[in-house]
């Protein structure tokens, strides 16, 4: 019997290095995939319906939301985004592991609505270091950077419901900790139903 997959939910302030850690994790664990979200925004060039997003009209999204179709949803810059609940659970049951990169509010919704998953919050070593990283990135004007720093403070203070905390001071050290977390989670008995019985009967590999 194929073991169930892992649902890994990761949140972090902008500039904390979350994307770099996720890319490295997906390189070392190719079995991890991403759930396909629904959105009301228009497709960008090269985006494909059903691969990048499910592109739907606002009325359809609202109707699905009212049916509790989404495990989490948010309004961003005037558009709706949402992750379908049943899609996540079915993927996990089929042995597919998923990474979800969401903000703190999205992570809280997922934990409340799904009642399962591994929830990780990634901290910068300090707000001063976070500001330095955002300035080095050079993609935001000063006003936006100050807003990101303010939001980072709020997010960090709301991170108490996560299962794990990780401080990304140095990428190699932080990634080693993330990898250890994933390897440990893969050994949880809940992901291997019936394993004792199969081993006892000599059919552990079935």
More confident residue, 201 or 122: 122
Has residue 204 been placed in a domain?
no
Q: If you average pLDDT over residues 7-28, what whole number do you get?
A: 94
Query: Contact, 155 vs 103, CB < 8 A?
Result: yes
Mean of per-residue pLDDT scores for the chain:
92
pLDDT of residue 198: 83
The dihedral sign for the CA sequence 135, 141, 144, 146:
positive
Has residue 206 been placed in a domain?
no
Q: What is the pLDDT of residues 32-83, one digit of tens each?
A: 998 889 999 999 899 999 988 999 999 999 999 999 999 999 988 789 999 9
How confident is residue 204, by pLDDT bands cut at 50, 70 and 90?
Answer: low
The values of phi and psi at residue 200, to 5°, are -65, -30
| pTM for the predicted model, two decimal places | 0.87
Q: If you average pLDDT over residues 148-154, what whole number do you get?
A: 92
Has residue 33 been placed in a domain?
yes
How confident is residue 18, by pLDDT bands cut at 50, 70 and 90?
Answer: very high
Calculate the alpha carbon distances from 48 to 36, 53, 55, 60, 87 in Å: 11, 7, 9, 19, 18
pLDDT at 98 over 90: yes
Q: Rounded to whole angstroms, how far apart are CA atoms 118 and 110?
A: 10
pLDDT of residue 205: 59
Query: Contact, 168 vs 174, CB < 8 A?
Result: yes
pLDDT at 206 over 90: no
38 strand-pairing partners = 54, 82
Helix (H, G, I), strand (E, B) or coil at 50: coil
Q: If you average pLDDT over residues 122-139, what whole number do you get?
A: 91
Calculate the alpha carbon distances from 101 to 3, 83, 196 in Å: 23, 11, 34
User: How do beta strands 118-123 and 7-11 pair?
Assistant: parallel
Has residue 80 been placed in a domain?
yes
pLDDT of residue 1: 63
Closest C-alpha to 167, from 13, 8, 9:
13
* Residue-range definition of the domain harbouring residue 157: 7-197
Domains of the chain: total = 1
Has residue 1 been placed in a domain?
no
Q: What is the pLDDT of residues 153-195, one digit of tens each?
A: 999 999 999 999 999 999 999 999 999 999 999 999 988 888 8
Q: Domain holding 30: CATH number?
A: 3.40.50.300
């Amino acid at each position: 019997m194929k073991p169930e997959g892992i649902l890994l939910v990761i949140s972090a302030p902008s500039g904390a290095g979350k994307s770099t850690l996720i890319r490295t994790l997906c390189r070392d664990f190719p079995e991890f995939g991403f759930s396909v979200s629904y959105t009301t925004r228009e497709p960008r060039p090269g985006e494909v319906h059903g691969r990048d997003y499910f592109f739907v009209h606002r009325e359809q999204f609202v109707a699905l939301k009212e049916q509790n179709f989404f495990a989490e949803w948010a309004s961003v810059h005037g558009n709706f985004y949402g992750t379908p609940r049943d899609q996540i659970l079915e993927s996990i049951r089929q042995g597919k592991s998923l990474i979800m990169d969401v903000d703190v509010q999205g992570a809280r919704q997922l934990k409340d609505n799904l009642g399962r998953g591994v929830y990780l919050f990634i901290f910068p070593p300090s707000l001063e270091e976070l500001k330095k990283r955002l300035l080095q990135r050079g993609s935001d004007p000063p006003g936006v950077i100050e807003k990101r720093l303010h939001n980072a403070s709020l997010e960090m203070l709301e991170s108490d419901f996560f299962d794990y905390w990780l401080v990304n001071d140095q990428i190699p050290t932080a990634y080693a900790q993330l990898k250890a977390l994933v390897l440990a989670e893969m050994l949880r008995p809940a992901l291997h139903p019936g394993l004792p019985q199969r081993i006892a009967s000599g059919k552990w590999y079935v």
